[in-house]
Amino acid sequence: MPIPAHFRMIKLVDVYKAFGDKKVPAGEYSAFIDAKSPSDWTLIISTWAAQPKMDQNDKTALWGAYGYTPDKDVARVPMKVEALPFSVEQLTWAFVDTTTDGGRIAIMWGKTMASVAFKAQMP
């Protein structure tokens, strides 16, 4: 089961985002990470809506990754996993190496950072 990213309902505004060869139109999405092994992680961009509070009867939106299924995935992108020379105590999401048209989305925890490059493109 994917790890809920709690970076939920990310909003990609006004521009397409390209993650490698995967193009994601502007809009609102949930993000998950599938950590298959310590070195094999995948970023999942999905149209699953987020529940504002847990409701096990609501099958149209998710609380974390409970009830997640891949049928609403828009993109699955392999992440670069690397060791950090320092420890990050709190799970941290960040945009790193940003430029005017792209950068990397990174998640850091402990001595691990996983990231994926993105490019912003006009529709």
What pTM, to 2 d.p., does this model score? 0.81
What pLDDT shows up at residue 76?
A: 93
Whether the CB-CB separation of 84 and 108 falls below 8 Å is answered with yes
- Structural domains counted in the chain: 1
Residue 19 above 50 pLDDT? yes
Residue 122 above 80 pLDDT? no
Q: For residue 109, what are the CA distances in angstroms to 22, 81, 92?
A: 26, 11, 6
Q: Name the 3-class secondary structure at 71.
A: helix
Show the CA angle centred on residue 45, arms to residues 34 and 29, nearest 5°: 135
Residue 1 above 50 pLDDT? no
Domain region containing 55: 3-121
What pLDDT shows up at residue 12?
A: 55
Segment 49-67 shows an average pLDDT of 82
